[in-house]
Structure 1
Amino acid sequence: MADQDAQRIAGAVPVLVATFDDTGAVDEDSLRRQIDFCVEAGSDAIAFGMGTESHMLTDPERERMWTTAARQLDGGVPLIAATAHASREGTIALTQLALDCGADGAMVNPAPLGGDELVSLFRDLSDQVALPLMIQDAGGNAPADVLLRAVREAPRVNSLKLESPGAPDKIGRVVAGLADVPGRDVTVVGGSNGNLLLEEFDRGAVGTLPHPAIIDAFRAVCDLYSAGDASAAGELYYCVILPLSRLTAAGAGNAIWLHKELFRRAGILNSAHCRIAAGPMPDWVMEAIWRHLHATETRIGRLLRA
C-alpha cells in the first residue's frame, strides 16, 4: 500500500489494460512490465477499471491481478481497484477483496442504483470496508446533489470520477458543492480517456483516468495546468493527445485493443488478446497512429522508434 500521505487522487492515473496471453490466460509478467512502464512515465496512481476489462474477469483472476499489481508497486503510488458488482453484497465483497489484495482505494460505479440507494451503497461501503472510495459516475449519470450527499454520508469517499454526458458542467457543480464539506480533501477527476480534459480542468477537475500508453503526455498536461500554464497545457493536449483520440475514433474506437497493441509492439505485452469484442483497426489508421507517435517525445513513441 502507498503511504497515507500519498492518498490524494489527482493528476494522471492510467487505467491499465488487462494482460492475457494468446489463449486468454492472465499474463502476470506483462502486467508487471506495464506497471513499470506507467510508473516510469510519471503516473500519479494506477487504476483497474472498465478499460481493464474488469467485468470480464473471474474473482480469482481479480485477486491475482490486484495482488500482482500491489506487490509490483510496493507502495510507490496508490493502487485503485474497480469493485463494482451487480449487487450491493457483491460490491462490498469485491471491495473487501481489493483491500485484502493490497489496493489503496476502490473505484465503484453504482449504476444502475440512484438516489437513496446510491447514497446507501457508499454509506455501507464506508462502514464495512476500511478502504478509500472513488465514486465513478458513468452510465448512471447521477445528479450532482446525490453525489454530494454520498460524499457527506460516506466519510471514506475521497474522490469522484465524473464521466457521464455533460461531465464538465457537473464537475463544476460538484466542485462548488464540495466547498461545503469541511475538513475533507475530496478531489474530482475526469474520465472518458481525457476527451474533455481541458474543459474538465476549467471546471475544477484536478486529474484524469485515461488509457495508459501515453500517460506521460497526460501527466505533462496535468502538471502544466496545475502550474497555471493553461496555454502550454492546451498546446500539448492538441498536439499529442487529441490526434491519438481522433485516430482511435476513426478506427472504430477500439481503444482497449489499440493500447494493448501499442504495448505489444513496444515489447511490454506479449499479446494484444482481448476478452471484449475488439479487433484490429484498419491498416491506414494504424499507419497514421505510428506516424503520429513516432513524431512525439512520449515514452511509447521512443520505444516504438527503437
Structure 2
Amino acid sequence: MTQLIDRTTRGVYIIAATPFAEDGALDLDSLDRLVDFYAETGVTGLTILGMMGEADKLTPEERRAVIDRVMSRAGALPVVVGVSDAGIGNLTDLGRHAMDRGAAGLMVAPSRGPAREDRVEGYFHAVAAALGADVPLVFQDFPLTTGVPVSPALIRRLSNDLPQMVMLKHEDWPGLTKITALRAQESAASVPRLSILCGNGGLYLPQELARGADGAMTGFAYPEALVQTVALHHAGRTDAAEDLFDAYLPILRHEQQPGWGLALRKHILMRRGAIASAATRAPGPRLTTTDVAELERLMARTERRLAERG
C-alpha cells in the first residue's frame, strides 16, 4: 500500500467513525460497509482511530481488530492510523502493528501536559526515534482538544529535523494565519514542503484551501461534499467550490456541535446505510426524538438543495 513519503499528498482523507452495536460491542460488519461507503464517495484515503473515531474508548485488542479489518477491506486506498497515546511504548506497539499491516502513515498529537514547546519538541523526537525513520508521521495539531498550542515555527522545525514528518493535520482554530505562515516559509529553497490537510469537520475548508492547504483530513457524514469541494478548488474553480460547499454548510455546521457532533454524524451515516447503528460507546451522547427530528429535517433540506442544483 502507498505510504505518505513525498510531502505532496492532497485530496480528502476522511476520518472514519468506529461502528458499535446497540450494546456497545464493536461492529466489524458495519466497519466493512463503512469502508465501502467512503470509497464509493471518492475519498483519497482513510484515517482511522482518530479522536472522532472513539479510539480512546477501545481496548488495545479492539484497536488492532479495527486496523486489521480496515486494512483487509481498503484495498489500494491509503490508510492513516491514529496512534496517539500517553505512553510512547504503547504508541510504538500500535504503530508498528499498523505499519506491518500496510498503513500509509501514523497520526500523532502532542501529549497532554504543560504547553511548553521544548517539551513538545522533545516528545516528537522521541516518538520518531522509537518508530524509526521509515515510518511517515502526521502531526495532529488540535490545541482545542489537547490543550497544547504549537507555533508555525515549531512545526517547521520538526518538519525540517524529522524527514519522516511529512504532513500536518491542521486543526487550530482560528488557524488560517498558521497555514499562511507555513506556506510563506516554503518560499525559501532550503525549506522542504509540508503537506497540509485540514480538520474541524471541514468548517473552514474553502478558506483553508485558498490559504494553501492541500485538502481535508476530517469527518463529515457527506464525504462527497469534501471530495468535490477540494477537486473543484484544485481545478481552479474556486467560486464553484464555494457554491457547492455552501449547499452542505447548514448540516455541516450542525454536525460540528461540541459533544454532540459524533452522535449526529453516526445517525446520518446510519440513515445513509453505511452503518447498522448510530450508537456511540459509553460515555457518549444519545440523541433525543427532538434531536433526530431536527437532524432529519436538515437532511431533507440538504437533499432538496442538491436536487435544485442538479
Q: Equivalent residue of 2:15, what SS? A: coil
Aligned to 2:284: 277
Cα distance between partner residues in 1 of 2:187 and 2:88: 29
> Where does residue 86 of structure 1 map in the other structure?
86
SS of the residue corresponding to residue 112 of structure 2 reads coil
Distance 1:181 1:108 in 2: 28
Q: Please state whether the residue corresponding to 1:14 is helix, strand or coil.
A: strand
Deviations 1:143-184 (A, max 9, x none): 111111111111111100111222111111122224447585
Q: 2:53 is aligned with what amino acid? A: T
- Displacement of 1:92 in angstroms is 2.6
Matched, 1:261 2:267: yes
TM-score by structure 1 length?
Answer: 0.88
Matches within 5 A, 1:22-41: 22-41=22-41
**Distance (whole Å) between structure 2 residues aligned to residue 171 and residue 106 of structure 1:** 21
Q: CA RMSD in A?
A: 2.3
Q: Is the 8 Å Cα contact of residues 4 and 105 (structure 2) preserved in structure 1?
A: no
- Partner of 1:50 in structure 2? 51
Q: Return the letter of the residue paired with 1:273.
A: A
* Contact persistence 2:139–2:168 (CA under 8 A): yes
User: Does the aligned pair in 1 maintain the 2:179–2:211 contact within 8 Å?
Assistant: yes
1:135 maps to which residue?
139
Q: State the identity as a percent.
A: 25
Contact kept? 2:67, 2:98, Cα under 8 Å? yes
1:279-298 map, 5 Å: 279-280=286-287, 282-295=291-304
How many matched pairs? 295
**Is the 1:63–1:101 Cα contact (8 Å) retained in structure 2?**
no
**In 2, Cα distance between the equivalents of 1:181 and 1:117?**
29
Look up the match of 1:245. Answer: 252
Unaligned runs of 5+ in 2: none
Q: What is the 5 A alignment of 1:69-218?
A: 69-74=70-75, 76-112=76-112, 114-129=116-131, 130-139=134-143, 140-180=148-188, 182=190, 184-218=192-226
1:7 Cα shift?
Answer: 8.0
Tell me which stretches of 4 or more aligned residues in structure 1 moved more than 6 Å: 3-7
AA paired with 1:160? L
Q: Aligned in 2, Cα 1:257/1:209: closer, same or farther, shift over 3 Å?
A: same
Using a 3 Å threshold, how does the CA distance of structure 1 residues 181 and 77 change in structure 2: closer, same or farther? farther
